[in-house]
């Protein structure tokens, strides 16, 4: 029996993708079938975008002249494509490279006066013969005599890939590119949108031409063949006048068709299915098709005389395409892997797991002697990582990176809980600390560096007149509460945020006497009425209002000032807990950033670039009470940490680190917001640029957790260390390249999250 030959795949691209009048670009319609198969295979739209060897802008911003962008990645699944997976695999495995393209391109003219535009009525007309493929985008309704299916053959796939590969790798003028791609042996095809001449470039809006019609007219007028091949229409006109003349005739027909379509569109209004209003446009289209056929014949004949070498390095180009193809179609990569994490939740990931053998060995040893590991099973709590995915033990750190004991390198956005601001192992800070250690940093007596640090703090912190140095953040906030109670003669504290682990503010009740909690109450952030209610509930009893200036959400305009006023109106002290914000949002902290004045302020974390020290600063009138209370520790006077703080604050004062951190944080937040807007997973970017964060949302908590775990599994596997439930931090050694790499990883993370949610 003769072997049965595979039949060509026949698609009507719009219908096979489940679209009824949807934007399809002329060039990418051929590859839309491949996208459909990948989507049917289970890949998300961002997973497919990951396979593009293209710059992809996920934001949907307006196109800038001379720059390529992809627009929203609004792909839909195609059930019809599911049965064709094996055929596409056969094409690729037989040596046909595949490059995928983004779904749609927004061009000037996609919107017209805020009205529904022609994309609502667009159809795709495809004609095919043995030597040439002509793709025509119009805004006319379907007509059986020109709407044809597209036969997807190996020859067409090869031609499309050749064209995409060359014009992405080495953009050049129209004539050169057409000679080398569309007319090369074995890839003799042409994809042509409606062309135009230069004089029509700016009149499309007045003519009412939108969407693919305007896009086609810009091919020559703006000197560009979509999606990102930059061309010079003047050079084409000079070298090939007959091509330009044919293009002009086609453009004239397109112009007339556009007027008819615009009139029909306005008349149809909300009745897009009323075909009768489009009858005049159909006749115009048929005449235009003749002009386009003439144009493509001229181009084919004229440019077919030229044979030159392919631009760029053919071997490098081939490797690039082959690499993309392997990524798309490899069994272990094309579809996201599904597994179960150490917490028992199904996991989705596009990347292989990290080798964490030594971390696991150390964890097992620690479980025999360390109480935390023995009873929790993890170095980090469950809410700070994904079980089985995050490294447990680190080996070293430098700049923005850390290395675990297994040799894996990570871009660090934990930054030791936000204590690192200059970067790991800053040489200036390290030198100051080493010098202090060599001289003896615990010598019974106080050292000169303590005076230098106190002077520096009163110099850079607004309204700071006196300083008290301690060891940890909890030390400082508890000292502020004790000092406030002693100064006012009152006991009650109103607080907000995470203020430490001591009894008065512990966030877990176990082991905490009820009496310690009875004199403390909280309120709702950014809600002055909620705060006022607490003061009204305990008139004359409140010693202080102690709060973080913000956590995930920045303070509303006037909120901090209003909170300070309420405290003072009720005879209480206003205390800012600036463990996270201090020496990060501004040199003078939140007081400088938001223009608020506090009676007392506490600092730690970034104050000494990772070394353990904290400070309580405030008005002299309040701070003098310190002689009447007991606040002390054997280690409060150690000089090494003070030297680190002096060096750190000095560097922050004398360099642009804080400005640079804010700039990079803004870049990160914008990139995340763009990725979220382009995807199907619900999430929100939070925090201030210096401490960005993101939270996932879903009505089903299980699916929300699946999305979050999938996202952070993917990012950690790609070497990005992020906290799933806490601010992220940026240091002075973080670079724009680091942020770009981070956004690459988060894009993959969103792919994995979307796949996890879709699979449930």
Whole-number pLDDT of residue 512: 87
* β-pair type (123-128, 600-603): unpaired
Among 124, 152, 159, residue whose Cα is nearest residue 10: 152
Query: Does residue 750 contact residue 744 with C-beta atoms inside 8 Å?
Result: no
Query: Does residue 651 contact residue 441 with C-beta atoms inside 8 Å?
Result: no
Q: What is the mean pLDDT of the chain?
A: 66
- Separation between Cα atoms, residue 195 and residue 295, nearest integer Å: 9
| Structure-token pair, residue 437 | 């250690």
Whole-number pLDDT of residue 373: 72
- 11-20, 404-413, 485-494: range with lowest mean pLDDT: 11-20
End-to-end Cα spacing for the chain: 46
Whole-number pLDDT of residue 379: 56
| Structure-token pair, residue 204 | 């499309």
| Structure-token pair, residue 511 | 């082991």
- Among 209-213, 404-408, 507-511, 753-757, which range has the highest average pLDDT? 404-408
Cα separations in angstroms, 460 against 292, 582, 596: 71, 11, 15
* β-pair type (492-496, 542-547): parallel
| Structure-token pair, residue 490 | 């009152």
Query: Comparing 337-423+657-759 with 448-636, is the CATH topology the same?
Result: no
Whole-number pLDDT of residue 297: 56
User: Per-residue confidence at 269, pLDDT binned at 50, 70, 90?
Assistant: very low
Which SS3 state, helix, strand or coil, does residue 602 take?
strand
- Separation between Cα atoms, residue 525 and residue 506, nearest integer Å: 18
Query: Does residue 627 contact residue 486 with C-beta atoms inside 8 Å?
Result: no
- Separation between Cα atoms, residue 760 and residue 750, nearest integer Å: 15
Backbone φ and ψ for 509, nearest 5 degrees, come out as -75, -20
Cα angle 130-135-138, degrees, rounded to a multiple of 5: 150
**CATH assignment of 337-423+657-759, given 3.40.50.980, 3.40.50.10490, 3.40.50.2300, 3.90.1150.10?**
3.90.1150.10
pLDDT at residue 611 is higher than 50:
yes
Tens of pLDDT along 127-165? Answer: 222 222 222 222 222 333 222 333 334 343 344 434 333
- Mind spelling out the 3-state secondary structure of 156-191? HHHHHHHHHHHHHHCCCCHHHHHHHHHCCCCCCCCC
- Among 198-212, 348-362, 457-471, which range has the highest average pLDDT? 457-471
Cα separations in angstroms, 730 against 117, 144, 401, 532, 742: 44, 59, 11, 35, 12
pLDDT at residue 284 is higher than 80:
no
Among 104, 46, 155, residue whose Cα is nearest residue 750: 46
Contacts of 434 (CB under 8 A, 6+ apart): none
% the chain with pLDDT above 90: 39
Query: Does residue 573 contact residue 599 with C-beta atoms inside 8 Å?
Result: yes
Domain boundaries, the chain: 9-329, 337-423+657-759, 448-636
Tens of pLDDT along 440-468? Answer: 988 888 999 999 999 999 999 999 999 99
Tens of pLDDT along 687-699? Answer: 999 999 999 999 9
Q: What is the CATH number of domain 448-636?
A: 3.40.640.10
Q: How many helices (H) and strands (E) does the chain have?
A: 27, 21
- Separation between Cα atoms, residue 133 and residue 148, nearest integer Å: 12
Whole-number pLDDT of residue 249: 58
Counting Cα atoms < 13 Å in the Cβ hemisphere of 558 gives 2
Whole-number pLDDT of residue 349: 59
| Structure-token pair, residue 629 | 């209370």
Query: Does residue 33 contact residue 13 with C-beta atoms inside 8 Å?
Result: yes
Report the Cα 75 to chain-centroid distance in Å: 19
- Separation between Cα atoms, residue 616 and residue 600, nearest integer Å: 7
Cα separations in angstroms, 668 against 395, 674, 713: 27, 10, 19
- 68-77, 352-361, 446-455: range with lowest mean pLDDT: 68-77
């Amino acid at each position: 029996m003769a072997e049965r030959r595979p039949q060509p795949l026949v698609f009507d691209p719009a219908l096979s993708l489940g679209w009824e009048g949807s934007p399809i670009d002329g060039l990418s319609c051929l590859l839309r079938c491949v996208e459909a198969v990948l989507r049917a295979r289970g890949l998300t739209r961002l997973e497919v975008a990951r396979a593009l060897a293209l710059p992809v802008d996920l934001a949907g911003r307006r196109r800038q002249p001379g720059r390529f962008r992809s627009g929203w990645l609004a792909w839909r699944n195609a059930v019809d494509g599911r049965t064709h997976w094996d055929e596409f695999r056969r094409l690729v495995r037989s040596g046909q490279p595949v490059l995928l393209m983004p779904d749609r391109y927004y061009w000037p003219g996609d919107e017209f006066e805020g009205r529904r535009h022609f994309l609502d009525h667009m159809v795709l007309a495809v004609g095919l013969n043995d030597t040439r493929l002509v793709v025509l985008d119009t805004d006319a309704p379907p007509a059986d005599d020109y709407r044809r299916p597209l036969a997807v053959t190996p020859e067409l796939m090869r031609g499309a890939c050749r064209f995409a590969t060359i014009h992405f790798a080495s953009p050049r003028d129209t004539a050169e590119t057409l000679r080398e791609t569309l007319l090369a042996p074995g890839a003799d095809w042409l994809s042509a949108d409606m062309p135009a001449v230069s004089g029509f470039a700016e009149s499309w809006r007045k003519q009412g031409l939108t969407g693919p019609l305007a896009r086609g007219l810009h091919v020559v007028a703006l000197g560009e063949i979509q999606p990102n091949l930059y061309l010079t229409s003047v050079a084409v006109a000079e070298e090939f006048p007959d091509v330009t003349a044919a293009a002009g005739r086609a453009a004239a027909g397109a112009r007339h068709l556009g007027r008819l379509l615009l009139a029909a569109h306005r008349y149809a209004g909300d009745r897009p299915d009323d075909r009768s209003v489009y009858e005049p446009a159909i006749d115009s289209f048929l005449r235009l098709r003749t002009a386009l056929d003439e144009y493509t014949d001229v181009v084919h004949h004229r440019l077919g005389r030229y044979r030159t070498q392919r631009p760029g390095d053919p071997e490098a180009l081939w490797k690039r395409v082959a690499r993309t193809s392997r990524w798309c179609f490899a069994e272990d990569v094309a579809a996201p892997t599904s597994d179960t994490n150490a917490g028992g939740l199904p996991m989705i990931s596009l990347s292989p797991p990290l080798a964490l053998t030594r971390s696991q060995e150390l964890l097992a040893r620690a479980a025999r002697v360390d109480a935390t590991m023995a009873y929790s099973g993890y170095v980090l709590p469950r809410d700070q990582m994904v079980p089985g995915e995050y490294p447990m033990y680190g080996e070293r750190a430098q700049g923005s990176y850390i290395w675990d004991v297994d040799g894996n390198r990570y871009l660090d956005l934990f930054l030791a809980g936000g204590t690192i601001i200059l970067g790991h192992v800053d040489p200036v800070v390290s030198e100051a600390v080493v010098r202090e250690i060599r001289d003896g940093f615990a010598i019974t007596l106080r050292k000169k560096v303590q005076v230098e640090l106190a002077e520096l703090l009163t110099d850079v912190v607004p309204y700071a007149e006196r300083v008290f140095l301690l060891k940890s953040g909890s030390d400082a906030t508890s000292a502020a509460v004790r000092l406030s109670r002693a100064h006012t003669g009152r006991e009650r504290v109103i607080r907000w945020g995470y203020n430490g682990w001591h009894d008065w503010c512990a966030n877990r009740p176990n082991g905490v006497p009820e009496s310690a909690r009875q004199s403390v109450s909280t309120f709702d952030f950014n809600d002055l009425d909620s705060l006022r209610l607490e003061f009204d509930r305990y008139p004359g009893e409140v010693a202080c209002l102690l709060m973080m200036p913000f956590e995930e959400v920045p303070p509303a305009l006037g909120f901090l000032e209003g909170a300070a006023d309420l405290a003072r109106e009720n005879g209480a002290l206003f205390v800012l807990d600036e463990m996270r914000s201090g020496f990060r949002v501004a040199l003078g902290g939140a007081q400088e950033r938001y223009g608020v004045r506090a009676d007392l302020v506490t600092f730690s974390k970034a104050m000494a670039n990772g070394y353990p020290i904290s400070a309580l600063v405030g008005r002299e009138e309040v701070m003098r009470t310190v002689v009447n209370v007991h606040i002390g520790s054997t280690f409060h006077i150690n000089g090494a940490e003070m030297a680190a703080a002096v060096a750190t604050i000095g560097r922050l004062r004398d360099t642009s680190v804080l400005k640079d951190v804010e700039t990079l944080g803004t870049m990160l937040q914008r990139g995340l917001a763009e990725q979220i807007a382009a995807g199907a997973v619900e999430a929100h970017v939070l925090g201030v640029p210096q401490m960005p964060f993101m939270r996932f949302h879903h009505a089903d908590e299980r699916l929300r957790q699946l999305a979050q775990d999938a996202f952070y599994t993917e990012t950690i596997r790609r070497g990005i260390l992020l906290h799933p439930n806490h601010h992220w931090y940026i240091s002075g050694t973080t670079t724009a390249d680091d942020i770009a790499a981070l956004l690459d990883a988060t894009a993959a993370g969103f792919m994995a999250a979307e796949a996890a949610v879709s699979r449930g």
